[in-house]
Chain A
Amino acid sequence: MSYWIVQLLNAVQASMLLFLVAVGLGVVFGLMNVVNLAHGAFYAFGAYLGWTVLQATGSFPLAFLLAPALTGLPGLAVYALAVARMQRAGHLAQVIATLGLLFVSVEALRALWGDIPLEFPVPPALAGSVDILGTPYPVYRLSVVALGLAVAALLWLVLSRTIAGAMVRAAVDNVEMAAALGVRTGLLFPVVFVLGCALAGLGGVVAAPLLSVHPGMGVEVLVPALVVVVVGGLGSLQGTLVGALLVGLADTFGAVMGPQLSGAAVYALLAAVLVLRPGGLLPARS
């Protein structure tokens, strides 16, 4: 019994990491109708920038706070140079240009930080483990779950209870209408885009102590993040959360129950969802 509970925890923890990375991708899609394959790069930048801050200051809180903020800077550059001018270019052009930017980002990481993976230790304050029905479980992983849930709750509050959130929802629903009603999309779009990048950066720095910090990490996370967004239905917060949970569950329990199929479970889930519901599970727009 405790075995399955621990595996469920593993699944939820993986889901929360995916959620942090995917939420920006999904919101940008829903709001601006932009497919941004370069999004994975911000996840990698978050991890690397966090590492650099940690090396420079030795402070974990600073690393975790500054990494997402610093990730917003390349985010702003990408918005200004590519996304803003491609908004009306159609998905085809967006796919190519942002894929190109992703390639550039990998080489930038290699040039700046080298090919050898870097060490990002678990913060000492969260290094221990707690007993879950007789099985020790790392505190840090539990913290990741808590962080993911907190971010989801905060985003939900902002979107549903604030003026800014109402503007975002209106713009997702119908950009022209929102603009006509006085929503300044010229300001709203870059702010949301950069926040999405910062969340991916947060995902990256949070993942760093669990995984390894290496140049390919942004490419590796891209496909799972896309799967989350598409399974959930583009552009809705609930959809992204549900998508992340489903993908995390499929990946974890696929690995545990059918070792011969592990790695395929996520894609089987994606295929099944799209065959049955060609627009994802909870699309923002019908």
Chain B
Amino acid sequence: MFRLFDPLRTALALLLFGAGVLRALTGDVFALEILAETAVFAIAAMAFDLLAGFSRLVSMGHGLFVGTGAYVYAGLTVLGGLPPAAAAPAAVLGAGVAGLLVGLATVRTRDVFFLMATLAFGQMAHVFVLRSPALGGDDGLTGVPRPDLSALGVDLSDGRTFALAAVLLAALVYLLLGRLLASAFGRTLLAIGADEGRVRALGIGVARHRVAAAALSGAVAGLAGVLAACHAMYVSPGLFHWTFSGEVLTMALVGGVGSLVGPVLGAALVVELKYAVAAWTAHWGAVLGLFLVAAVWAGGDGIYGRIARAARALRRRLRPGPGGAHVRDGAGSA
């Protein structure tokens, strides 16, 4: 089962959170931009993990949910004149509905077929947005406002404050999702991922749980979209494209799915790596590609899985008790 306060997971999450806060407080302008982008991807990758890590449903369509969140928020504020406080919940809800619909349509597909079905829906949404003059078509929508929190003494138009807020939002998502996954709902999702047939035989509604997880994953990804729209103050159809979904997928898998903290780690590593390498070569794609290959060679369960295995080995060596077997091992089951 998934334990929110597993020591290793919690230590890594605190480490990442601490690094994020430190960076938000001390980083230069560029670092703040990268940090906010990392938060967007971290939230989207956690949403992805909800499906991939627990129910073994690897989606190539999370751009659809991120894009829906971003466009509903941008559309309601820029075109509809609504205040951000009303538009943001509506955007999250809208992305949740998108998740629900995609979840319903793909409920019978598995594995690569699920991946391709989500890709299909994402691409159809991409074409739709690209061809909607009302949504700005290829050029997107500009002038997207950030929420006004001046009543609380918080100025989100300041880059540093915004980056800090983005990190806090990602942490909040981590805690909420972790809480949920540690519940009976999370255990059922894990069971579906392990053996869908057996869960069905137990009389548990597999379809119901899968659709609910998709809706939730969509809503969380939609929140990432709202954050992206607020960060750039601009939205463009690229959010819907499969290459964006592929980025989310890559980050989550590199970091290690099923751990919730792995995707955050993956997002941070890939975003940092991309900008760092792009600073010295236009061929950064090759470095990123080799990094992906290396990440797989390190073990199929991502960097978090690698760390968890190393931690287990270390513990065994430190406590060579009689028999040496440690049945109760939190990280092992994640």
Contact = CB atoms under 8 A, between A and B. Distances in A.
A86 to B, nearest CB: 7
Nearest to B242: A223
B200 interface: no
Interface string B116-146: 1101110110011001000000000000000
A267 B109 CA distance: 16
B124 A104 contact: no
A271 interface: yes
A223 B120 CA distance: 10
A25 to B, nearest CB: 11
B296 A271 contact: no
Contact of B110 (A92, A263, A278): A278
Contact of A103 (B106, B116, B249, B289): B289
Q: Most B CB atoms within 10 A — which of A85, A94, A230, A234? A: A230
Interface stretch (B1-9, B179-187, B250-258): B250-258
A270 interface: yes
A28 to B, nearest CB: 13
A270 B117 contact: yes
A193 to B, nearest CB: 17
A92 B289 contact: no
B124 A271 contact: yes
B291 interface: yes
Nearest to A231: B116
A267 B290 contact: no
Nearest to B289: A103
Given A267-B124, A270-B116, A104 B289 contact: yes
Contact of A271 (B121, B246, B291, B293): B121
Contact of A267 (B123, B249, B250): B123
Contacts of B311: none
Contact of A108 (B111, B112, B286): B286
A227 B118 CA distance: 12
A110 B283 contact: yes
Interface in B274-331: 283, 285-286, 288-293, 295-297, 300
A104 B254 CA distance: 17
Query: Chain B: interface secondary structure?
Result: helix
Contact of A100 (B110, B113, B293): B293
Given A93-B296, A100-B289, A270-B116, A278 B242 contact: no
Q: Most B CB atoms within 10 A — which of A105, A111, A230, A274? A: A274
B270 to A, nearest CB: 11
B250 A278 contact: no
B105 interface: yes
Q: Most A CB atoms within 10 A — which of B52, B113, B120? A: B120
B58 interface: yes
Given A104-B290, A275-B105, A92 B131 contact: no
Interface in A79-98: 82, 85-86, 89-97
A160 to B, nearest CB: 26
Nearest to A215: B285
A275 B286 contact: no
A264 B128 contact: yes
A113 to B, nearest CB: 13
Interface in A94-121: 94-97, 99-108, 110-111
Contact of B113 (A97, A264, A279): A279
A148 interface: no
A263 B115 CA distance: 19
A106 B288 CA distance: 12
A22 interface: no
Nearest to B284: A107
Contacts of A278: 108-110, 113
Contacts of A264: 123-124, 127-128
A271 B295 contact: no
A103 B288 contact: yes
Contacts of B106: 274-275
21 contacts: A82-B293, A96-B249, A96-B296, A97-B296, A99-B289, A100-B290, A100-B291, A100-B295, A103-B288, A104-B285, A104-B289, A107-B285, A223-B119, A226-B116, A227-B120, A230-B116, A234-B112, A267-B119, A271-B120, A271-B121, A274-B120
The 4 closest A-B pairs by CB, nearest first: A100-B292, A103-B289, A107-B286, A104-B289
Given A97-B295, A278-B110, 11 more contacts: A86-B296, A95-B115, A95-B249, A96-B250, A96-B296, A108-B286, A230-B113, A261-B127, A264-B123, A268-B120, A278-B108
